[in-house]
């Protein structure tokens, strides 16, 4: 794959790492305790350019290459899994707009995505459409000058503070996947209401919303691609999104690793640090090995995307492996802490809960296996 990161990439990753370590860890603990949205802290993220990471320079963004972007998401997640997913979803939407919006929409909205007050969200899931987004029931009826959209979206990350929503909706009723189209919705439009979903197990600083759309007008030029391309756009966005979630998982795993090592060195039993016991060393060795393996899978998938090659399977493999590894690692991190790992005074208790989402959203592990299996079958 050659050198994956340029010197500029490394400097940017280091700057984000320093910022995240200095600014996010304690805040993230507080967002978790109080179930408060990390969007209260968005201004700083905008100032750092993090909301314009995947926006091309011509539209005011940083045009960050995919491999470096994945490393940045990891560094954010090591300090706040909630901030990492907030940034990752926003940038995923930026990429969708760059690829599929008409030039007028692109030049109007992409520069805004780099400015405060313009958080983006991706709304394909519905109460009855999760792993099977093709069964989405939200309707977009053609009217003079655009569409009237009605329905409900569920589990929308960035869904309360967000302004720009990519929404999957049914523009036809022929019973095929070509019934679905992708539209860009300005949440300031009449007929939009959203509510925070509370009581999450982890990433409690990340906003998750349910959204209701009642006869919301969307102008015709906010159709992304063409009518009938909704599933194609959604699935291609998820390929990239999965690299982001895999990186989030590795970041959580990295934080677990650091907490484990710190605790194992300082906690003494039987007159010596528990780090001296081989059983504890093995947990740490397995953790570091899995983190390195996951990072290699992410780098490979990100490099393929960067090179413009097919990376669907590679992204699913990275997401499947990294997310499941993060859960094994979080389990070990609690184990190394013994009883202390079971109370929220210690960070591993939160990391254990935060890791859990990574095998669920942007396609469950079962869905990733389906994607990988299908690809392998196609290859014969």
Ligand X SMILES: Cc1cc2nc3c(=O)[nH]c(=O)nc-3n(C[C@H](O)[C@H](O)[C@H](O)COP(=O)(O)OP(=O)(O)OC[C@H]3O[C@@H](n4cnc5c(N)ncnc54)[C@H](O)[C@@H]3O)c2cc1C
Count of residues binding ligand X (CB under 6 A)? 20
The one segment of 142-150, 221-229, 321-329, 359-367 that binds ligand X by CB under 6 A:
359-367
Residue 39, interface with ligand X (CB under 6 A)?
no
Looking at the Cβ atoms of 157 and 313, the one nearer to ligand X is: 157
Binding status of residue 131 toward ligand X by CB under 6 A: yes
Residue 293 engages ligand X in binding (rule: CB under 6 A)? no
Q: Which of 57, 307, 362, 366 is catalytic?
A: 362
CA 377/CA 273 separation, integer angstroms = 50
Instruction: Give 144: exposed, middle or buried? Use CB within 10 Å, 0-12, 13-18, 19+.
Output: exposed
Nearest alpha-carbon partner for 221 in 183, 261, 268:
183
Residue from 124, 185, 223, 283 binding ligand X (CB under 6 A): 124
Work out how close the CB of 222 gets to ligand X at its nearest, in angstroms, rounded to a whole number: 18
Q: Return contacts of 208-212, CB within 8 angstroms, 24+ apart.
A: 208/155, 208/156, 208/157, 208/159, 209/156, 209/159, 209/160, 210/152, 210/153, 210/154, 210/155, 210/156, 210/159, 211/123, 211/152, 211/153, 211/154, 211/156, 211/159, 211/165, 212/152
- To ligand X, the closest distance from the beta carbon of 375 in angstroms equals 16
The residue range among 220-228, 262-270, 326-334, 353-361 that interacts with ligand X, by the rule CB under 6 A, is: 353-361
165 binds ligand X (CB under 6 A): no
With respect to ligand X, which residue has the nearer C-beta, 38 or 357?
Answer: 357
By CB under 6 A, name the one of 35, 343, 366, 374 that touches ligand X: 366
Our finding on whether 360 is near ligand X (CB under 6 A) is yes
232's CB contacts (< 8 A; 6+ apart) are 225
60 φ, ψ to 5°? 95, 5
**Residue among 31 and 361 whose Cβ is closer to ligand X:** 361
Does 361 sit near ligand X (CB under 6 A)?
yes
Please list the helix, strand and coil fractions of the chain in percent, rounded to the nearest 5, in that order: 60, 15, 25
47 noted as active-site residue: no
Stretch that binds ligand X, among 64-72, 153-161, 304-312, 333-341 (CB under 6 A): 153-161
First to last CA, the chain: 25
Q: Which stretch binds ligand X (CB under 6 A): 103-111, 124-132, 214-222, 319-327?
A: 124-132
Binding positions for ligand X, rule: CB under 6 A: 89, 122-125, 130-131, 155-157, 200, 208, 357, 360-364, 366-367
* Catalytic center residues: 362
């Amino acid at each position: 794959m050659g050198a994956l990161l340029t010197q500029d990439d490394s400097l940017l990753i280091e700057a984000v790492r320093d910022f995240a370590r200095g600014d996010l860890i304690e805040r993230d603990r507080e967002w978790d305790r109080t179930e408060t949205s990390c969007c209260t802290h968005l201004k700083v993220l905008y100032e750092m350019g993090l909301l314009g990471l995947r926006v091309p320079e011509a539209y005011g963004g940083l045009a960050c290459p995919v491999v470096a972007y994945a490393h940045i998401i990891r560094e954010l997640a090591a300090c706040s899994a909630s901030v990492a997913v907030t940034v990752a979803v926003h940038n995923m939407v930026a990429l969708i707009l760059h690829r599929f919006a008409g030039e007028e929409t692109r030049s109007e909205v992409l520069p805004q995505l780099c400015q405060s007050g313009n958080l983006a969200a991706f709304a394909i899931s519905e109460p009855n459409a999760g792993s099977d987004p093709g069964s989405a029931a939200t309707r977009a009826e053609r009217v003079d000058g655009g569409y009237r959209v009605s329905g409900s979206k569920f589990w929308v990350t960035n869904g309360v503070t967000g302004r720009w929503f990519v929404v999957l909706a049914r523009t036809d009723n022929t019973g095929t996947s070509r019934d679905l189209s992708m539209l860009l919705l300005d949440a300031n439009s009449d007929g939009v209401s959203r509510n925070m979903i509370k009581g999450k197990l982890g990433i409690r600083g990340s906003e998750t919303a349910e959204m209701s759309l009642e006869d919301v007008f969307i102008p015709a030029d906010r159709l992304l691609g063409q009518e009938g391309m909704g599933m194609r756009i959604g699935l291609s966005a998820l390929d990239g999104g999965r690299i982001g979630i895999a990186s989030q998982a590795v970041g959580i795993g990295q934080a677990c690793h650091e907490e484990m090592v710190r605790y194992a060195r300082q906690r003494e039993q039987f007159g010596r640090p528990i780090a001296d016991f081989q059983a504890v060393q093995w947990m740490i060795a397995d953790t570091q090995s899995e983190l390195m393996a996951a990072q290699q899978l992410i780098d490979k998938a990100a490099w393929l995307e960067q090179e413009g090659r097919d990376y669907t399977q590679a992204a699913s493999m990275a997401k499947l492996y990294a997310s499941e590894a993060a859960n094994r690692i979080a389990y070990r991190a609690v184990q190394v802490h013994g009883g202390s790992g079971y109370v929220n005074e210690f960070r591993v208790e939160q990391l254990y809960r935060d890791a859990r989402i990574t095998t669920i959203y942007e396609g469950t592990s079962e869905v990733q296996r389906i994607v990988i299996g299908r690809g392998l079958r196609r290859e014969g």
